[in-house]
């Protein structure tokens, strides 16, 4: 570096800095515009090849225009509903006919068997978007005109409005909470004002770039974005960009104490961090891309979007931050400024030195404890994790009931519960059957005889059950079957399987069975199949990357095994917390798979950071000293990175949806468990106890201990 012209030494960092600031100024606004190309249509979350999805395609022929049903339910608070009230209810919703948002004429108010409630269906346009809540307010206001009863709105329209409300303001709220948590943690841990701000700025720039790329691709229908994917993208980019920045900043601090020259220190920091950061990014990105093997649309959507975010995070950490550090030098750590301890002749001199590894006193003590009794530590730690993992089978992934989808009470959920008290449990969410018109009578009769079906009728041109005047389209008819059990219950799912079996046996009917319950059932089965396909793919990707990075076979196998054990232990704890503390009776079918991809891929990150440094140190000092030096030098930064990542995922809890709350807990708790237990105790103890043979088949496996005495590694 000494022969490099002075102007060139600051010109390159300055150009990089200006480029990134230009990226931020030009593309930054896209972080707030991603919602413009996002959709929260529940139909887009279905398995691509499932029968319920095939029915949706066939059903379009019966819908003159796509509609979103709003079910109005009136209750008399324990009293009987009178004829006058039923007439008033029919008149109230009938007055909505002709309004721009209403399709056709609302159905008459129907009295429940117990005489205490009424229900009517108002078909709304499906393309209302942000206007849907306002339209529902109009429907609600009209329904409240009936005296002596309480009006509520249930059904798909109400659920979609509540879902859109849950994601409202996701751009600002989630981003603000996540960045605020990261900034606070960095300020407390590093007691530096400028460095945390630089790291936050880098994360924001990376997010702006990622959102711009995703926006362009989504606008051209190359990728798909919904509120769920949008929220996870923000968290992934902020967490990953911060982690990579912390690793590089810590390495720069080490290098500048021995180089003195800030440009040389920045170059050395990038060179020594490049392998770990790129391997980490590749692990997460390829792990996310494995979701493309899923048959669930929302899983497939997250894969490329998340991978784009990770690539942008790594690119920013390897270019923007080094440029800033090269320009600011020790000032970046203000008010604490690392002092130079001498300038070695070569960048490798510091690593080749036999000086004791420097680290925080806590990590020196942890390393000493691991060194003293490695076998005892890894055996006890592994047994403790295995004990927690024993509870993992109790984590139910059969779906979240309607009354648990939202954290807290949602109007649509309360209304659906009211509807279920007075009408058959499946009211408002019937099983939809499409069959050959010539077999309509036989299909309807078979459906009515199926155990668990309350009623079944063909649908007329008005969209209402009417056996006398069924609507026939291309020789096919639609039949709605109301189920006795609530649409989201296991009993309803069993009814759907019986209904399909019975109707598929009707010769010539070519019947398809779909609807809300069928969609839940198909999604659950597809998610279980996806786990059997994607989990091995992700593990294979991680194993291959670790082998290339560490040039070993045994160490990667060991690391993957410990991360998998950590995942199972996390699921065990999550099962206990969800059931006994948070009150969830189940999880979304995709939660275990998302948790696996995030936790395993991100968990391997910290082991990559640790073991890449351990290998580097082992080349000069032998395996045992390499582990101890690697643990003490990376302990603080990796723990900080783990806490930051856990905090960023915990920010997902600001979105009041059970799915995201469950994902947030699994990843946040799992990352902390991995950082504080697996990476700090289990992995170092296992490597020390295994000795040099753990590096087989590389040359490190043949170490006889000479390197610990200062001998140079073989070429």
Q: Are 422 and 76 in contact (CB under 8 A)?
A: no
Q: Is the dihedral of CA 168, 200, 322, 358 positive or negative?
A: negative
> DSSP 3-state assignment of 459?
strand
Residue 349 has pLDDT above 60, yes or no: no
Mean pLDDT, range 294-316, rounded to an integer: 88
Task: Report which listed range, 209-213, 229-233, 248-252, 294-298, is most confident.
Answer: 209-213
Mean pLDDT, range 531-537, rounded to an integer: 89
Tokens of 564: 């998998």
> DSSP 3-state assignment of 309?
helix
Residue 696 has pLDDT above 60, yes or no: yes
Tokens of 213: 């790329």
Domain 361-390+551-715: top CATH class: mainly alpha
Q: Each residue of 568-619: pLDDT tens digit? A: 999 999 999 988 888 887 787 788 888 888 888 777 878 888 888 888 888 8
**How far is the C-alpha of 104 from the C-alpha of 125, rounded, in Å?**
10
Partner residues linked to 460 by β-bridges? 470
Count CA atoms within 13 Å of residue 6 on its CB side: 0
Mean pLDDT, range 501-520, rounded to an integer: 91
Task: Report which listed range, 59-68, 127-136, 419-428, is most confident.
Answer: 127-136
**How far is the C-alpha of 488 from the C-alpha of 373, rounded, in Å?**
52
Buried b (16+ CB within 10 A) or exposed e, 183-222: bebbeebbebeebbebbbbbbbbbbbbbbbbbbebbeeee
CATH number corresponding to 1-37+164-353:
1.20.1640.10
**How far is the C-alpha of 113 from the C-alpha of 179, rounded, in Å?**
54
Q: Are 499 and 455 in contact (CB under 8 A)?
A: no
**How far is the C-alpha of 503 from the C-alpha of 395, rounded, in Å?**
33
**C-alpha distances out from residue 644 to 176, 209, 407, Å:** 14, 21, 24
Partner residues linked to 483 by β-bridges? 453
Q: What pLDDT is stored for residue 352 in this prediction?
A: 35
- Domain assignments of the chain as residue spans, ordered by start: 1-37+164-353, 63-163, 361-390+551-715
Using DSSP, how many helices (H) and how many strands (E) does the chain show?
22, 9
Mean pLDDT, range 398-408, rounded to an integer: 73
Residue 634 has pLDDT above 90, yes or no: no
**Secondary structure of 623-675 in the HEC alphabet?**
HHHHHHHHHHHHHHHHHHHHHHHHHHHHHHHHCCEHHHHHHHHHHHHHHHHHH
**How far is the C-alpha of 477 from the C-alpha of 481, rounded, in Å?**
13
With a pLDDT cut of 70, the percent of the chain lying above it is 88
- Residue matched to tokens 């030096």: 629
Task: Determine the Cα angle at 92 with ends 88 and 94, to 5°.
Answer: 115
Task: Determine the Cα angle at 354 with ends 353 and 357, to 5°.
Answer: 95
**How far is the C-alpha of 519 from the C-alpha of 523, rounded, in Å?**
6
- Residue matched to tokens 């190359």: 222
Higher pLDDT, 250 or 399: 250
Q: What are phi and psi of 410, to 5 degrees?
A: -110, 145
User: Are 1-37+164-353 and 361-390+551-715 in the same CATH fold?
Assistant: yes
DSSP letter string, 37-77: GB---GGGGSBTTSHHHHHHHHHGGG-SS-EEEEEEEEE-T
Q: Is the pTM of this model over 0.85?
A: no
Tokens of 96: 């909505």
**How far is the C-alpha of 230 from the C-alpha of 211, rounded, in Å?**
9
Q: Each residue of 119-173: pLDDT tens digit? A: 988 888 877 777 888 889 899 998 888 888 889 998 888 888 887 777 665 666 7
**How far is the C-alpha of 401 from the C-alpha of 406, rounded, in Å?**
10
Q: What pLDDT is stored for residue 238 in this prediction?
A: 87
> DSSP 3-state assignment of 145?
coil
Domain 63-163: top CATH class: alpha beta
Mean pLDDT, range 50-58, rounded to an integer: 82
Q: How confident is the model at residue 42 (pLDDT cuts 50, 70, 90)?
A: low
Q: Are 72 and 143 in contact (CB under 8 A)?
A: yes
**How far is the C-alpha of 386 from the C-alpha of 42, rounded, in Å?**
37
**How far is the C-alpha of 621 from the C-alpha of 350, rounded, in Å?**
12
Partner residues linked to 296 by β-bridges? 47
């Amino acid at each position: 570096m000494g022969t490099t012209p002075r102007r060139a030494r600051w010109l390159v960092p300055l150009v990089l800095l200006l480029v990134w600031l230009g990226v931020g100024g030009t593309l930054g606004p896209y972080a707030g515009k991603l919602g413009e190309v996002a959709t929260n249509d529940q139909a887009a979350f279905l398995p691509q090849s499932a029968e319920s999805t095939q029915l949706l395609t066939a059903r379009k022929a019966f819908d003159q225009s796509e509609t979103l049903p709003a079910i109005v339910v009136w209750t008399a608070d324990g009293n009987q509903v009178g004829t006058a009230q039923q007439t008033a209810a029919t008149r109230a919703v009938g007055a909505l006919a002709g309004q721009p948002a209403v399709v056709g004429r609302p159905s008459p108010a129907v009295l429940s068997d117990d005489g205490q409630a009424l229900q009517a269906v108002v078909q709304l346009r499906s393309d209302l978007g942000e206007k849907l809540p306002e339209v529902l307010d109009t429907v609600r206001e009209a329904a409240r005109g009936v005296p002596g009863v309480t009006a509520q709105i249930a059904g798909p329209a109400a659920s979609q409005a509540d879902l859109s409300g849950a994601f409202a303001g996701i751009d600002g709220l989630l981003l603000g909470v996540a960045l605020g948590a990261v900034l606070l943690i960095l300020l407390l841990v590093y007691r530096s004002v400028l460095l945390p701000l630089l790291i936050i700025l880098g994360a924001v720039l990376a997010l702006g770039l990622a959102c711009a790329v995703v926006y362009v691709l989504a606008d051209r229908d190359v990728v798909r974005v919904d509120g769920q994917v949008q929220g996870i993208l923000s968290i992934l980019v902020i967490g990953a960009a911060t982690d990579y920045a912390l690793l590089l900043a810590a390495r720069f601090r080490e290098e500048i104490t021995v180089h003195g020259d800030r440009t040389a220190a920045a170059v050395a920091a990038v060179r020594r961090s490049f392998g770990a950061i790129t391997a980490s990014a590749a692990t997460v990105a390829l792990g996310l891309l494995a979701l493309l093997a899923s048959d669930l649309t929302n899983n497939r959507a997250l894969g490329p979007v998340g991978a784009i975010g990770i690539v942008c995070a790594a690119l920013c950490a390897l270019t923007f931050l080094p440029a800033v550090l090269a320009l600011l030098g020790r000032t970046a750590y203000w008010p604490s400024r690392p002092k130079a301890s001498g300038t070695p002749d070569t960048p490798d001199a510091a690593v080749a030195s036999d000086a004791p590894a420097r680290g925080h006193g806590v990590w020196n003590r942890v390393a000493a404890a691991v060194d003293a009794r490695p076998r005892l530590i890894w055996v006890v730690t592994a047994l403790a994790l295995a004990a927690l993992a024993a509870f993992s089978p109790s984590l139910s992934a059969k779906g979240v009931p309607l009354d648990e989808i939202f954290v807290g009470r949602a109007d649509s959920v309360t209304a659906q519960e009211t509807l279920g008290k007075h009408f058959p449990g499946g009211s408002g969410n019937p099983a939809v059957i499409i069959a050959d018109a010539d077999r309509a009578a036989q299909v309807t009769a078979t459906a009515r005889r199926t155990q668990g079906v309350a009623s079944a009728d063909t649908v007329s041109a008005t969209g209402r059950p009417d056996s006398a005047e069924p609507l026939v389209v291309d020789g096919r008819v639609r039949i709605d079957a109301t189920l006795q059990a609530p649409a989201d219950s296991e009993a309803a799912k069993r009814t759907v399987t019986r209904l399909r079996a019975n109707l598929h046996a009707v010769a010539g009917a070519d019947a398809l069975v779909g609807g809300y319950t069928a969609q839940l059932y198909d999604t659950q089965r597809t998610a279980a199949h996806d786990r059997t396909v994607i989990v091995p793919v992700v593990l294979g990707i991680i194993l291959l990357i670790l082998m290339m990075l560490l040039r070993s076979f045994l160490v990667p196998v060991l690391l993957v095994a410990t991360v998998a054990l950590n995942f199972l232990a996390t699921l065990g704890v999550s099962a206990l917390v969800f059931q006994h503390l948070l009150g969830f009776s189940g999880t979304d079918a995709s939660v275990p798979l998302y948790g696996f991809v995030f936790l395993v891929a991100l968990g391997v990150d910290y082991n990559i950071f640790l073991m890449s440094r351990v290998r580097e140190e082992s080349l000069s000092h032998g395996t045992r000293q390499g582990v101890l030096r690697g643990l003490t030098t990376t302990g603080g930064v990796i723990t900080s990175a783990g806490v930051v990542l856990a905090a960023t995922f915990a920010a997902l809890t600001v979105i009041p949806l059970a799915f995201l709350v469950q994902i947030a807990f699994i990843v946040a708790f799992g990352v902390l468990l991995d950082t504080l237990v697996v990476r700090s105790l289990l992995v170092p103890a296992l490597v020390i106890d295994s000795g040099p043979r753990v590096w087989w088949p590389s040359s490190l496996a043949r170490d006889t201990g000479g390197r610990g005495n200062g001998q140079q590694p073989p070429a």
